[in-house]
Structure 1
């Protein structure tokens, strides 16, 4: 049986753990024999495989808007590091290897960071919106998700949610990464950009796509845990269609389990 009860760790243990996992990830980047994607091409590839966009500003309960404005600054710094990247056959896209460590010296500001079931200001906060966007686009393509982490907590209710619960990818520099591997025979191009109101993305190829995907959730439920909190669960699948709109497969994508940090079954009103 899945145990979602939070584990209490001392600040010293958390500090040492972060240092350990960060060092291990750096060694993996250096000696892991992974062929990482690094080349770019600013000329758009011929065909768009999938695109998506998300609003830059949302009214979230108890969240100061300055954190979201700072998030936009952080996205403006991170997006150019990823925009136009080409993932060739056999290569792996690493979110953090391309962006690098967000620091004040680089211009990053305090944005909203989810931590232990709540949120707090933190340097580079808000960059999960970019990893969420990329992950959502990727699962609509033949690319392979080599590494992805789900949120352990569901902090905010479904205010204007347009995607299934758990369809994003959380990220923590550098040991919680989003890594995408190209196991196909053609290169893929990732385009990401900002408008005045939205974060936008597109995955492009030079050959016309012959498969299309519809992502959906199954087995969604909420549960009262023995330690008093509610939890939320689902399984993400995708249906694969050919160019004649005939379903060819129904594939498992991932499953999600998170503690809810709000009372379920109650109407949520935006502030």
Structure 2
């Protein structure tokens, strides 16, 4: 864990290196799509499958310090365009789902607007900004199903405090076209359907399935720690796991999901006599 946290010390890179590195990873992903196409989920169905496996909603607008609200209103437009590409998607047994292959590249020509994009601990405006809210929602819902997450990227920076947070820290999935993707595989014998929509206040989603799930899932965090590093920054860490319950409510298993380390971009509220490492609640 120490080596992982030590590697998070900020390193300033030139714009040229950042530009070249991003293009390299984008084109490497394009090549992978060609040589490893996989059995993709492509069919969408308007009618709902009969059983709700998991549903969740996240607010469309938040009061974020120093963030222009216009970027959040633009985000709503971007979310509507992306949701139109995903709503109703069926993932049959053996099929895989790729967030970016289904949505495609967000461009102005397609109607995407400038939204907020997190970048190296800060944020700026960018075309298609705000789509991480959708990938976060899908990932969180997926953790409550037996679908297998084959690719997910965590946020390397903790940019905003926990105001109104309803999920454990580190339970989201960041995205950036096309090399930071969210990918799932259906290794079950049950067909799943992704339902997404927006109302006046929230982005909403459901995983539905053809047959009732055998198990339910409770996602939780442990080992939540904020540590002051020797180089002067704060690192926030935790572990994400889930408890698995049978239909009768009996505990059937406990699975570790992932570990998170993020560089905090705000100062934690530390008591003067507090130690350097603070267990979370």
TM over 0.5: yes
Alignment partner of 1:4 is 2:15: no
Name the structure 1 match of 2:251. 247
Name the structure 1 match of 2:155. 151
How far apart are the structure 2 equivalents of 1:144 and 1:242?
19
Name the structure 1 match of 2:71. 67
How far apart are the structure 1 equivalents of 2:263 and 2:214?
39
Alignment partner of 1:114 is 2:126: no
* Per-residue deviation, 1:103: 0.6
Question: CA deviation digits over 1:54-74, x for unaligned, max 9?
Answer: 000000111111110000010
- Compared CA separation, residues 31 and 11, structure 1 to 2 (3 A): same
How far apart are the structure 1 equivalents of 2:191 and 2:53?
12
Name the structure 1 match of 2:132. 128
* Per-residue deviation, 1:15: 1.1
Name the structure 2 match of 1:264. 268
How far apart are the structure 1 equivalents of 2:235 and 2:195?
35
Alignment partner of 1:183 is 2:184: no
Question: CA deviation digits over 1:122-153, x for unaligned, max 9?
Answer: 11000000000000000000000000000000
How far apart are the structure 2 equivalents of 1:84 and 1:259?
36
Structure 2 gaps, min length 5: 272-281
How far apart are the structure 2 equivalents of 1:67 and 1:226?
36
Alignment partner of 1:16 is 2:51: no
Name the structure 2 match of 1:35. 39
Structure 1 gaps, min length 5: none
| Partner SS state of residue 98, structure 1 | helix
Structure 1 stretches of at least 4 aligned residues deviating more than 3 Å after TM superposition: none
Matches within 5 A, 1:152-167: 152-167=156-171
| Partner SS state of residue 196, structure 1 | coil
* Per-residue deviation, 1:8: 2.0
Name the structure 2 match of 1:91. 95
How far apart are the structure 1 equivalents of 2:48 and 2:32?
32
Name the structure 1 match of 2:108. 104
Name the structure 1 match of 2:215. 211
How far apart are the structure 2 equivalents of 1:119 and 1:33?
33
Name the structure 2 match of 1:78. 82
| Partner SS state of residue 105, structure 1 | helix
